[in-house]
Amino acid sequence: MLYVVLEADQNDTRVVNPGMTVRKDENDMSGNRTFAAAGTICLAMFLLGFFDNFVTLIAQDLGLWQFHLMRAIMAVGILMLLSRYGHARLAPVRLWAVMVRGGFAAVAMLIYFGCLAFLPIGQVAAGLFTAPIWVLLISALFLGQPVGAIRLGAAIVGFVGVLIVLDPFANGLAPLALVPMAAGFFYAIGGIATRQWCEGESALSMLLFFFLSLGLFGLIGSIAMTVWAPEAPAGADGFILRGLVWPTPLGWGLTVMQAVGSLVAVGLIFKGYQMGEAAQVAIYEYLLLPFAAGWSFVLFGDPVPARAIFGMALIIVSGAIISLRSRVV
């Protein structure tokens, strides 16, 4: 999972994705806290890069829909326990707003995790990181918001970096390589919904409805694939078409690890944004790209071409500029 800052407001409140509202306290913006915030976000990206790599193994046994259904049940159960013991406020202020936002974010994650079964994680993450670019385009075309030459130039650089990493023309035109960009598009819409409609919502309330949306999609997809019963290829190739199955012990274990690990990482992200300036902290989320690719090499021996490293560097530079210029037109 990825959580990027899509806008830093000009007042004292910072709205961050997934709906977290952080009050800026000038007394807390010390160098030590900024360093601690950066370290916390780096650790979260390190963990996410590790856990997301195991989706390719999960796809060997489970279907995409059942995986999200099981993962959502586990995550919602943990959030309910936190709420019961007073560590989380889960009731939303605007139910419709968090439901719509959660739906768009859930679609983004369905595409993201679905692609992990077929494409290298570095490519999939690069597609998801088109979200800030989509936000600029949607904000300019449909919301009438000025973009500015610097952020527009950064968006172009980032898009070039994404194309370099995805390399859709490697073996002729490969449309599948461009599918991760759709995850970035829906994630961007979810981020805009966060900014436009979800101010004042608690971060964990937003997270709850995100997982509820994923669980609902997972339930519908699992039933549809089980009733329709298409011929699903063996292994990861059948990830999207596979209906309900009884998970293997490995499938259970990896899904539990992924669900718990994702929640821990998201908690670290929340903590990081509480300690640091949102626009500055957001830069470190782009470390997911090298961490994901690095873990893929360590765990499975997947090489990282020099071309992909260059493209990732362009994406990181682009994201840093967009984040730091988020309050400057």
Q: Residue 33 — pLDDT band, cuts 50, 70, 90?
A: confident
pLDDT recorded at residue 172: 54
Q: Residue 30 — pLDDT band, cuts 50, 70, 90?
A: low
- Structure-model confidence comparison of residues 168 and 159, the more confident one: 159
Q: Which of 169-173, 175-179, 196-200, 237-241 has the lowest mean pLDDT?
A: 169-173
pLDDT recorded at residue 28: 45
Q: Averaging pLDDT over each range in 63-67, 120-124, 203-207, 324-328, which range is the top one?
A: 63-67
- Structure-model confidence comparison of residues 212 and 322, the more confident one: 212
> Is residue 6 scored above 50 in pLDDT?
no
Provide the strand spans (E) within the chain. 13-16, 20-23
pLDDT recorded at residue 32: 58
Q: Residue 87 — pLDDT band, cuts 50, 70, 90?
A: low
Q: Which distant-in-sequence residues (6+ apart) come within 8 Å of 118 by Cβ?
A: 176, 236, 237, 239
Query: Do 36 and 274 touch, CB atoms closer than 8 A?
Result: no
DSSP state letter for 61: T
Measured CA to CA, the distance from residue 106 to residue 120 in angstroms comes to 21
Measured CA to CA, the distance from residue 238 to residue 53 in angstroms comes to 18
Query: Do 162 and 130 touch, CB atoms closer than 8 A?
Result: yes
Nearest to 315 by CA among 183, 176, 131, 175: 131
Q: Residue 47 — pLDDT band, cuts 50, 70, 90?
A: very high
pLDDT recorded at residue 57: 94
Question: What pTM was computed for the model?
Answer: 0.85
> Is residue 9 scored above 60 in pLDDT?
no
